Amino acid sequence: MNKVRVKKDNKVLYVPEERLSYYLREGYDQINDRGEVVKRATSGRMVPIAEYNRVVEELEKAKALIKQLQEGKPNTNTEEAETEDSEGESKRRRRKG
Protein backbone atom coordinates (compact mmCIF):
# COMPACT_ATOMS: atom_id res chain seq x y z
CA MET A 1 0.00 0.00 0.00
CA ASN A 2 1.66 3.24 -1.21
CA LYS A 3 1.28 6.37 0.86
CA VAL A 4 1.25 9.93 -0.44
CA ARG A 5 1.73 13.22 1.36
CA VAL A 6 -1.09 15.75 1.53
CA LYS A 7 -1.07 19.20 3.09
CA LYS A 8 -3.74 21.67 4.19
CA ASP A 9 -2.67 24.86 5.93
CA ASN A 10 0.14 23.66 8.24
CA LYS A 11 -1.07 20.05 8.55
CA VAL A 12 0.82 17.34 6.62
CA LEU A 13 -0.59 13.80 6.47
CA TYR A 14 0.53 10.52 4.93
CA VAL A 15 -2.52 8.83 3.40
CA PRO A 16 -3.05 5.72 1.30
CA GLU A 17 -2.98 6.44 -2.43
CA GLU A 18 -6.50 4.99 -2.74
CA ARG A 19 -7.83 7.78 -0.45
CA LEU A 20 -6.07 10.62 -2.29
CA SER A 21 -9.18 11.74 -4.20
CA TYR A 22 -11.08 12.08 -0.91
CA TYR A 23 -8.39 14.33 0.58
CA LEU A 24 -8.20 16.45 -2.59
CA ARG A 25 -11.97 17.03 -2.32
CA GLU A 26 -11.50 17.97 1.34
CA GLY A 27 -9.12 20.80 0.44
CA TYR A 28 -5.73 19.09 0.82
CA ASP A 29 -2.97 19.50 -1.78
CA GLN A 30 -0.79 16.51 -2.70
CA ILE A 31 2.88 17.40 -2.14
CA ASN A 32 6.20 15.73 -2.91
CA ASP A 33 9.19 15.20 -0.58
CA ARG A 34 10.39 18.79 -1.09
CA GLY A 35 6.97 20.21 -0.15
CA GLU A 36 6.09 21.25 -3.71
CA VAL A 37 2.48 20.86 -4.80
CA VAL A 38 1.95 17.90 -7.13
CA LYS A 39 -1.87 18.10 -7.34
CA ARG A 40 -4.03 20.97 -6.16
CA ALA A 41 -7.12 20.51 -4.04
CA THR A 42 -10.29 20.14 -6.08
CA SER A 43 -12.64 21.71 -3.51
CA GLY A 44 -13.02 22.34 0.19
CA ARG A 45 -11.49 25.81 0.24
CA MET A 46 -12.82 29.32 0.64
CA VAL A 47 -11.21 32.28 -1.12
CA PRO A 48 -11.82 35.82 0.20
CA ILE A 49 -13.62 37.98 -2.36
CA ALA A 50 -10.86 40.64 -2.25
CA GLU A 51 -8.25 38.07 -3.25
CA TYR A 52 -10.51 36.68 -5.97
CA ASN A 53 -11.10 40.18 -7.40
CA ARG A 54 -7.36 40.90 -7.34
CA VAL A 55 -6.62 37.73 -9.28
CA VAL A 56 -9.36 38.47 -11.82
CA GLU A 57 -7.91 41.97 -12.31
CA GLU A 58 -4.41 40.56 -12.86
CA LEU A 59 -5.78 38.05 -15.34
CA GLU A 60 -7.54 40.76 -17.34
CA LYS A 61 -4.35 42.86 -17.46
CA ALA A 62 -2.31 39.84 -18.55
CA LYS A 63 -4.80 39.01 -21.31
CA ALA A 64 -4.70 42.62 -22.55
CA LEU A 65 -0.88 42.56 -22.57
CA ILE A 66 -0.84 39.26 -24.47
CA LYS A 67 -3.25 40.70 -27.04
CA GLN A 68 -1.06 43.80 -27.45
CA LEU A 69 2.07 41.71 -27.90
CA GLN A 70 0.38 39.44 -30.44
CA GLU A 71 -0.73 42.50 -32.43
CA GLY A 72 2.82 43.87 -32.33
CA LYS A 73 1.89 47.03 -30.44
CA PRO A 74 4.23 48.34 -27.75
CA ASN A 75 2.95 48.35 -24.21
CA THR A 76 2.16 52.00 -23.46
CA ASN A 77 0.62 51.40 -20.07
CA THR A 78 3.74 50.39 -18.12
CA GLU A 79 4.96 52.25 -15.09
CA GLU A 80 8.60 52.32 -16.15
CA ALA A 81 10.11 52.53 -19.60
CA GLU A 82 13.77 52.42 -20.54
CA THR A 83 15.11 54.97 -23.03
CA GLU A 84 18.55 55.81 -24.37
CA ASP A 85 20.04 59.27 -24.20
CA SER A 86 22.25 60.83 -26.89
CA GLU A 87 25.35 59.07 -25.52
CA GLY A 88 23.77 55.61 -25.75
CA GLU A 89 23.36 55.15 -22.01
CA SER A 90 20.02 53.85 -20.85
CA LYS A 91 17.92 55.97 -18.55
CA ARG A 92 14.83 55.00 -16.63
CA ARG A 93 11.92 57.37 -16.57
CA ARG A 94 8.51 57.12 -14.99
CA ARG A 95 5.40 57.11 -17.15
CA LYS A 96 1.98 58.11 -15.99
CA GLY A 97 -0.41 55.23 -16.23
Question: What is residue 96's DSSP assignment?
Answer: -
pLDDT digits (tens, 9 = 90+) for 17-26: 999 999 999 9
Q: Residue 11 half-sphere exposure, CB side, CA atoms within 13 Å?
A: 7
Per-residue pLDDT, 74: 64
Q: Residue 38 half-sphere exposure, CB side, CA atoms within 13 Å?
A: 12
Question: Which strand (E) or helix (H) includes residue 63?
Answer: helix 49-71
E strands, the chain, are 3-8, 11-16, 29-31, 37-39, 80-84, 90-94
pLDDT digits (tens, 9 = 90+) for 24-78: 999 999 999 999 999 999 888 888 999 999 999 999 999 999 999 999 876 555 5
User: Per-domain residue ranges for the chain?
Assistant: 3-39
Per-residue pLDDT, 81: 47
Residues 77-81: what's their mean pLDDT?
51
